[in-house]
Structures are given as structure tokens and as C-alpha cells.
Amino acid sequence: MKTVIVRPERCVGCLQCRLACAVEHSQTKELVAALGEAWRPVARIAVYPGGVHLSFPNKCRHCDPAPCQAVCIAGAISRNPARGTTDIDPARCINCGMCAMACPFGVLTYAPTPKAPERRAVALKCDHCPDRQAQGLPPACVEACKVGALSWGEPAQEMAAKGRSLAQAYFAASRGVAESPEPEMIRLWRQLG
């Protein structure tokens, strides 16, 4: 199952993913129009400052089994086997906060949403952009990330690919060839600080 693969070592903290996520989860799905919507669009991915020039994009991992699902007293969280996601039904969520207590990654936010207009707030988290996926597009955060910190793929394949590239880098290094696994633009950006 495809998922968003996070490489925190590449994240530069530009927050483009947050913006794209908020826009995708707005009603109009357009930046300028979204700014004026009655429900303030909320990003479901957070970017935390890390070490020097290091940031950490944090989002729902769609755990299986999912701790948030196990504790939800409203039956609002369910697994979508076809998409491999844990989904929150805003019509059932009663904003009790039990899921925040259970999520080991701290990824839930609580805010009003046009999907349940009668509620003061509901639990919100990453849903892997179902509307985009239906059109064959990757989630909005992935498309927005220009440095490869977020990618859309099969974890097993990505791990194999990473293993291959590490092995190549290792052999290249042992032959005395300079090898930079860091993309050029990130290296330059880091030099700025």
C-alpha cells in the first residue's frame, strides 16, 4: 500500500507541505479563496524545528492496529482497507480528545470543519488526500515538498532502494570517490545559515 514516506534528514522547514495540506482540505481547494473561507482551513501535518537547520515533518502514520481507533469512544475512527488509512468520520466525532491521549505521535488537532458544520470542533488528521488519490495524484504535501523529504511510495520498495543507494555510496566512498547524498540545493541552503 502506498504511503507518505518521511525523510526528516531532508526537511528544510519551509512549511510548503502545511500550506498545501490546508488548501487541499479547504472547501475551494484554492489558496486565495481558501483564505477567505468561513472555516479556517487547517493543516494536518506539523513541521517541528529540530537540530541546526533540521526540521521534522510529523503526520499520521495510519498505524495498524491503530491506538487512536482502539480508544475512540464514538466509533468515529475506522480502517479503510482499500486505501490503507485510518479515517475519522467527522459526523461521528464528539471531540472528546481520547485519540490525542492514545496517539504516540501526537498528530491530532481539533478544529471546526465544513464536513460537520454543526459541531464546535472535531478531530482532524492526515487522510492521504482521498480526492487527489481518486485522480491518481499523490497527497498534496508530497507534491509541495521540493526537497524530497516527503515522497509517495511503497515502504518496502523505498527501503530496498534506500539500501541500494547506501550500499553504492559506501562502495563509492571506499574507492575514494567523493559522494554527496545531500541534494545540491539543500547543501546551499544550509550554507546560508
Ligand X SMILES: Cc1cc2nc3c(=O)[nH]c(=O)nc-3n(C[C@H](O)[C@H](O)[C@H](O)COP(=O)(O)OP(=O)(O)OC[C@H]3O[C@@H](n4cnc5c(N)ncnc54)[C@H](O)[C@@H]3O)c2cc1C
Question: Do 21 and 141 form a contact (C-beta atoms < 8 A)?
Answer: yes
Minimum CB separation of residue 76 from other proteins in Å reads 9
Q: If 0-12 CB within 10 Å is exposed, 13-18 middle and 19+ buried, where does residue 101 land? A: exposed
User: By the criterion CB under 6 A, which residues form the site for ligand X?
Assistant: 73, 96
Q: What is the DSSP string of 61-128?
A: ---SS-HHHHH-TTS-EEEETTTTEEEE-TTT-----HHHHH-TT---EEE--TTSTTSS-EEE----
Minimum CB separation of residue 83 from ligand X in Å reads 28
- Asked if 58 touches ligand SF4 (CB under 6 A), the answer is no
Minimum CB separation of residue 135 from other proteins in Å reads 31
Minimum CB separation of residue 133 from other proteins in Å reads 25
CA distance 85 to 3: 9
- Asked if 145 touches ligand SF4 (CB under 6 A), the answer is no
CA distance 172 to 170: 5
By CB under 6 A, name the one of 103, 144, 149, 150 that touches ligand SF4: 103
CA distance 4 to 151: 6
Grid coordinates standing for 109?
Answer: 488537532
| Shorter beta-carbon distance to ligand SF4: residue 34 or 44 | 44
DSSP classification of residue 180: -
Binding mask 64-103 for other proteins (x = CB under 8 A): ---x--xx-xxx---------------xx-xxxxx-xxxx
> Residue number with the shortest CB distance to ligand X?
73
Residues that bind ligand SF4 (CB under 6 A): 60-63, 66-68, 72, 74, 76-77, 86, 88, 93-99, 103, 105, 107-108, 123, 125
